Amino acid sequence: MQQRQQGFTLIEIAIVLVIVGILLGGILKGQEMLTQGKIRAVEKELDSVAVAILGYRDRYKALPGDDLQAKGRWDENTYGNGDGAIGSDEGIKAWQHLRYAGLISGDPVTGKQPVNAVGGVTNIQDGVGSPDKLIEGTVICTTNLPAKIATAVDAQLDDGLPNKGSILAFNQSTPNTPTFDKASEKYADDGKQQYTLCRGV
């Protein structure tokens, strides 16, 4: 009596390969949609913070964080020195002022910096660059951006070049710690390098 061989037919193997292909395609498409969502969130945050700062300046004739009159308007401990620039000690106060004014969401008492879509922080400061100012005036910076996201945001809001235009990119030595001595020469999509993007208001 002849024994029947067990195994998969070509049709069964083909069906399995098609199913695996569909699953992999769905996973890759889902990852791309997540990345696109993060790109849009970073773009929206940069734009909305810039609009909030301009709105504050129009309403109170002062910069958030630097506002000397904030003492009488809100909490006594949050006023700035009124010198027309957001100093290093006024960055957290800037978030408090914007929240007290209702221009951005969040608890004004804590004064925490917002966390961006990739877990970095967004900062408001006066100028970027040392010893020479690469961006002057009020600047918004957001940290921990992978090259894929930094490149896309730069391309959407500016020219896609890390060291030219209205948005500059800076390398980070460690998370949330940009090196502001010079702008990045290129976006290195090696899966390791993270960038801080800065734009003037």
Q: Quick check: is 6 in a domain? A: no
Pairing of strands 135-146, 194-200: antiparallel
User: Are 103 and 192 members of one domain?
Assistant: no
As a whole number of angstroms, the distance between CA 146 and CA 159 comes to 18
Which pLDDT value is given to residue 34? 87
Confidence of residue 3 (pLDDT cuts 50, 70, 90): low
Q: What is the pLDDT of residues 69-81, one digit of tens each?
A: 998 888 767 899 9
As a whole number of angstroms, the distance between CA 13 and CA 11 comes to 5
Check if the beta carbon of residue 82 is closer than 8 Å to that of residue 67.
yes
**Enclosing domain of residue 86:** 63-111
Q: What is the pLDDT of residues 24-63, one digit of tens each?
A: 777 777 778 889 999 999 999 999 999 999 999 999 999 9
Q: What is the pLDDT of residues 93-140, one digit of tens each?
A: 999 999 999 999 989 888 789 999 999 999 999 999 877 889 999 999
User: Are 155 and 57 members of one domain?
Assistant: yes
Confidence of residue 7 (pLDDT cuts 50, 70, 90): low
User: Are 81 and 146 members of one domain?
Assistant: no
Q: For residue 13, what is the DSSP state? A: H
Q: Quick check: is 3 in a domain? A: no
Instruction: Please give the tally of structural domains in the chain.
Output: 2
